[in-house]
Amino acid sequence: MPSSPAASLKSKILLDIENAKNSQALKKAKLGVKKFPKDPDFRSLAGFVLQSEGQYKKSVPFFLGAAKIRPRSEKDIENLTSALEMSNQILAAEKYLTQTIGRYPDILHAYSLLGNLLARQERWNELVEFATNSLSVFPDKIELLTLRGTAYSHLNLYNESFNDRLSAYELSPTHPMAARLFAQALHQKGAQAEAKKVLTGIVGRDPKDLDAIYDLSMLTTAKDAGKLLALTDQISEDEVPEVDLLHYARANLIKISQSLTDALPIYATANAIRFSHNPYESEKENKGFDLAEQQFATKSVIVNASEVEARVPIFVVGQPRSGTTLLEMMLSSCEQVHGCGELGAARQFCKTFQESNHQFTASDAAELAHHYYSNLPNPAESSLATVDKMPHNYQILGYILSAIPNAKVVNILRDPRDTALSTWIQRFPAGGIRYANDLISMAHSANLYRRYMELWRKTFASKILNVQYEQLTRDPENVSKRIAQHCGINWDPAMISPERNTGTVKTASVDQVRNKISTRSIGSWQQAADELKPFLDELNFDLWPEYDL
């Protein structure tokens, strides 16, 4: 039986797309829209071709036309949402999804799309409210539970996050995303064996689940690493959306089963791929420092006196992988000291001052204090002190200490060579630490860190305690007593046993802090001295007088 004219034209369009003849495909799709105006497929095909060419805004009318003809089609709803978001029409995408849910409340996919949209915008409080309302209608919707669990995690509400991920996993233990997020939550709570068991189950069901293999690469033993490495051999780069993840997984497994030396070339490949997609902007970072220097080196320091709370905000700063997580776990082992993890509130507020010549005023200081206090997690309300261990707060300490006069800062120093190696072999969240994937950029950031701390020392020396990681790990009792005294809290013997702390750890140090304090990583950079040469060549040794560089 011969195909219809519409079906024949669609086949020709799909053939053009398959052969990368996008201009011919678009021309035929537009022709189809005119000849068959009630057939939404031609509008979808036209939108698809335009979107594949990066012409997101031009694709919107076509996807909108298809969605009007098929308002209940999950694929059309998703296409239009994606086109609106990619063309930076976020509010329009949100409005469209909200209206769709209002008209067709049984289309579950629309709830997931709106939840993910809020997540990508990092609107965590709104996501919690939306997911909670939606779960009252669909209590068994796994993706809504996992989305709310993610939002809770970003809000540092770890118990709530764990409970949502547990609920999702219990609803469907074989659901890949639910299982992996539950394993992640177990890992962060220190339940490594249980996390490994869940991840092993995922890989058993799907030997090409790269996310689960990567997570296992951070938990596995030398005995099992070889088996996982063999699985990665069966995964081609064309099969995975994040090619660097495949290389990081392989590098981790080679490091465990063979040696760090054997793994270093694979880490270099992974870092190169990641850096090509997310380069470090050294000029932008220099500008941020120059603006801070102008504000605090040449002008009277603004001090906010309008909002000072009784509890002591403790800020732990330093370079990532320098021991900030260890220090937070030590401090939060004290009774009535609440560890808040890495809070983004202060950095979010100070972004304007880091990127423009906007003058930091007394009213800005008061507003920063209010913003910071109002974004502390609820469990911190009854504590005598809170610990915020966002490492890069070292860039905004002047603003923080002006806004919160009773704040205390502990700056943890570590041999920059050891920090560099630890950073180089770690995969950080996308878009986070851009310099981590390039050794020259890493040196630039390390030098800038020391310049920032020298800037703040000139004005806020009494509020900042410098602690060397090497001294902390060699003599934890005496150094922790000095830290407690600086922070105005009572020293607790529990501080020297942070491995007993049951707090959730979200950072890359999740496994290290579950072990007793150790000095074994000191000097580890020597294993990779040749690999680190570009970093060492650019590091300004004069800025690191504490170390024999």
SS (H, E, C) 181-234: HHHHHHHHCCCHHHHHHHHHHHHHHCCCCHHHHHHHHCCCCHHHHHHHHHHHHC
**What pLDDT was estimated at residue 549?**
79
Which of 68, 88, 121 marks a domain boundary? Answer: 121
Q: List b or e across 98-120, with b for residues whose CB sees 16 or more CB atoms inside 10 angstroms.
A: eebbeeeeebbbbbbbbbbbbbe
pLDDT at 509: 47
Q: At what angle do helices 142-154 and 158-171 cross, to 10 degrees?
A: 160
Pair 387, 314: CB distance under 8 Å: yes
426 neighbors 321 (Cβ within 8 angstroms): yes
Q: Report the CATH number at residue 354.
A: 3.40.50.300
Q: Residue 236: inside a domain, yes or no?
A: no
The CA distance from 275 to 211, in Å, is: 20
- 9 is a domain residue: yes
Answer whether residue 259 is part of any domain.
Answer: no
pLDDT score at 341: 87
Residue 468 vs residues 22, 132, 384, 499, 501: alpha-carbon distances, Å:
59, 45, 26, 20, 22
> Which residue has tokens 């008061």?
366
408-413/464-468 β-pairing: parallel
- Written as six digits, the tokens of 118 are 């809020």
Q: What's the pLDDT tens digit per position in 69-111?
A: 999 999 999 999 999 999 999 999 999 999 999 999 999 999 9
Which residue type occupies 430? Answer: A
| H helical segments located in 357-415 | 362-374, 397-403
Residue with structure tokens 């996982």?
A: 228
The reply to whether 295 falls in a domain is yes
> What CATH code is carried by the domain that includes residue 95?
1.25.40.10
pLDDT at 128: 97
How far is residue 9's CA from residue 429's CA, in Å, rounded to a whole number?
A: 44
Q: For residue 190, is it within any domain?
A: no
Last residue of a domain, one of 100, 121, 142: 121
**Left (φ > 0), alpha (ψ -120 to 50) or beta: where does 20 sit?**
left
Query: Please, which residues have CB within 8 angstroms of residue 506's CB and are 6 or more apart in sequence?
Result: 153, 188, 341, 342
Number of domains in the chain: 2
The residue type at 112: S
Q: How many CA atoms lie within 13 A of 134 on its CB side?
A: 29
Residue with tokens 């570009």: 534
Contact, 94 vs 114, CB < 8 A?
yes
**Matching residue, tokens 């063979």:** 258
Reported as a single tens digit per residue, the pLDDT across 108-144 is 999 999 999 999 998 999 999 999 999 998 999 999 9
In the beta sheet, which residues pair with residue 466?
411
pLDDT of residue 517: 77
- Identity of the residue numbered 89: Q
Angle between helices 142-154 and 176-188 (to 10 degrees): 30
3-state secondary structure of 73: coil
Work out the widest C-alpha separation in the chain, in whole angstroms: 87
DSSP state of 299: S
With a cut of 50, list the residues of the chain below it in pLDDT: 506, 508-509
How far is 176 from 173, CA to CA, in rounded Å? 8
Residue 69 sits in which domain range?
A: 1-121
Beta bridge partners of 410: 316, 465
3-state secondary structure (DSSP) of residue 438: coil
Q: Position 268: which residue type?
A: A
* pLDDT tens digits along 529-542: 999 999 999 999 99
Identify the pLDDT of residue 158. 86
Tell which of 89, 121, 153 closes a domain. 121
